Chains A and B, each alone.
Chain A
Amino acid sequence: MVMTIIIGVIAVLAPVISPYSPVEQDILNQYNPPGGVHFFGTDNYGRDVMSRIIWASRISLSVGFFSVALGMFVGSIAGVIAGYAGGWVEGLLMRIVDIGLSFPTLVMGLVIMAVLGSGLDKLIIAIGIAMAPRFARIAHGPTLSIREESYIEAARAVGSRPTRILFRHIIPNILGEILVMATLWIATAIRIEANLSFIGLGVSPPTPSWGNMVRAGVNHLIMAPWLSLIPGAAILVTVLSFNMIGDGIRDIADPKLQG
Chain B
Amino acid sequence: MTSYIIRRVLVAVPTLLVVLTLVFLLVRVAPGDPATAVLGQQASKQAIENLRRKMGLNQPLWQQYFQYLKGLVQGNLGKSLISRRPVGGQVLHALPFTLELTATGVFFGSLFGIPLGILTAIRRNTLVDYLGRVFSLAGLSIPAFYLGILLMMLFSIQLNLLPTVGGGQQANVSDLLYHLVLPGLTLGLIMTAYVTRMTRSSILNILRQDYVATARSKGLRERAVIYKHILKNALVPILSVLGVYSIVLIGSSVMTEIVFSRPGLGKLMVMAMKQRDYLMLQSLLTIYAGLVVIINLVTDLSYGFVDPRVRYE
Contact = CB atoms under 8 A, between A and B. Distances in A.
A214 interface: yes
Given A98-B15, A99-B22, A235 B157 contact: no
Interface in A102-149: 102-107, 110-111, 113-117
A187 to B, nearest CB: 7
Contacts of B15: 95, 98-99, 102
A93 interface: no
Nearest to B137: A243
B201 A104 contact: no
Interface stretch (A12-20, A155-163, A193-201): A193-201
A111 B285 contact: yes
Interface residues of B, number: 52
Interface in B94-123: none
A227 to B, nearest CB: 11
Contacts of B26: 111, 115
A141 B255 CA distance: 33
B197 to A, nearest CB: 10
Interface residues of B: mostly helix, strand, loop or mixed? helix
A199 B258 contact: yes
B61 interface: no
A247 interface: yes
Interface string B62-103: 000000000000000000000000000000000000000000
A46 interface: no
Contacts of A243: 137, 140-141
Nearest to B296: A102
Contacts of B250: 104, 107
A222 B145 contact: no
A201 B273 contact: yes
A220 B195 CA distance: 34
Contact of A240 (B30, B137, B258): B137
Sort chain A's interface into a size bin. 35 or more
Contacts of B285: 107, 111
A114 B149 contact: no
A243 B194 CA distance: 13
A257 B197 CA distance: 11
Residue picked from B15, B129, B145, B270, most chain A C-beta under 10 Å: B145
B252 interface: yes
Given A102-B292, A257-B201, A235 B146 contact: yes
A225 interface: yes
A105 B204 contact: no
Contacts of A257: 201
Nearest to B140: A243
A198 B270 CA distance: 11
B152 A115 contact: no
A110 B269 contact: yes
Residue picked from A116, A199, A243, most chain B C-beta under 10 Å: A199
B141 A104 contact: no
Contact of B141 (A107, A191, A228): A191
A143 B165 CA distance: 50
A47 to B, nearest CB: 20
B255 A198 contact: yes
